[in-house]
Amino acid sequence: KMSAVFLLLLVSTINVGAMLEKGLPRREPRRLSCVRCCGPSEQPVSIISSRYARMSSDPAYSVPKVQPTIDITILKGEKGEMGEKGYPGAIGKEGERGLRGFNGRKGQKGQPGPQGHSCKQLYAAFSVGRRKPLHSSDYFQHVTFDMEFVNLYKHFNMFSGKFFCYVAGIYYFSLNVHTWNFKETYLHLMKNEKEVAILYAQPSDRSIMQSQSLMLDLQEGEEVWVRMFKRERENAIYSEESDVYIIFNGHLIKPAVE
């Protein structure tokens, strides 16, 4: 049965195709005639490019140039209020040290400044005395003092009996002593380890006051002091507990740097 049905369908399909071919009229193929579009030396132009050239040259087919304009005043809003100050940001890393720049021009001389620091004083003065008499017991004997009248900034050392120069400059010194009856008085005024002046009095039946003074140019660190010098005769200076007969003074006249 299935084979018979298939044969019937095949026969009907062939008959329908034959009927369609007989009923529909046939169209002859259209022959296109050649048209000369360019010269022998010219290159053929495509239909699309030639059409675009005709349309662009013709004012009716020209494409208008569109230049849009935007009104900024419409888009821009009003200025707002200033906001609150924000928190400071984190501190950045310290950069590398740059190269040293060129020296600038020398400026004009400025006005005198205020007085310097108290640690660097431009003054020095002392006045010390001795209330005890002194007899020479050695070839050289250091004279010390036991009474302090003036000792500005403690430049005079009462323990060693020496004035220590902290401020370089010109100094004035004076030494006053009382001689002893029938005894020689022989003293050296010393600068460091060298004698610079002598106070001398010959033996006499009466005692007198003797003095010596001088100026010295001192550098910082130098010392000034008094020593007794013994020769063949007995050497002594007189004083007593109730009165002061031996006095050593010194003060700065002009500092080296002002």
Phi, psi of 15 (to 5 degrees): -65, -40
Domain ranges of the chain: 125-255
Burial tier of 162 (Cβ tally within 10 Å: 0-12, 13-18, 19+): middle
- What pLDDT shows up at residue 188? 92
List average pLDDT for each run of 10 residues in the chain, which is 258 residues long.
Answer: 59 55 54 57 53 54 66 71 83 81 78 56 91 83 92 92 94 93 89 92 84 94 90 80 91 87
Q: Distance between CA 248 and CA 244 in Å, rounded?
A: 11
125-255 adopts what CATH topology?
Jelly Rolls (2.60.120)
Contact assessment for residue 193 and residue 200, using Cβ atoms and an 8 Å cutoff = no
- What pLDDT shows up at residue 33? 58
- What pLDDT shows up at residue 128? 96
pTM score, whole prediction: 0.53
193-249 confidence digits (pLDDT tens) = 999 999 988 888 888 889 999 999 999 999 999 998 876 777 888 888 888 999 999
Contact assessment for residue 191 and residue 224, using Cβ atoms and an 8 Å cutoff = yes
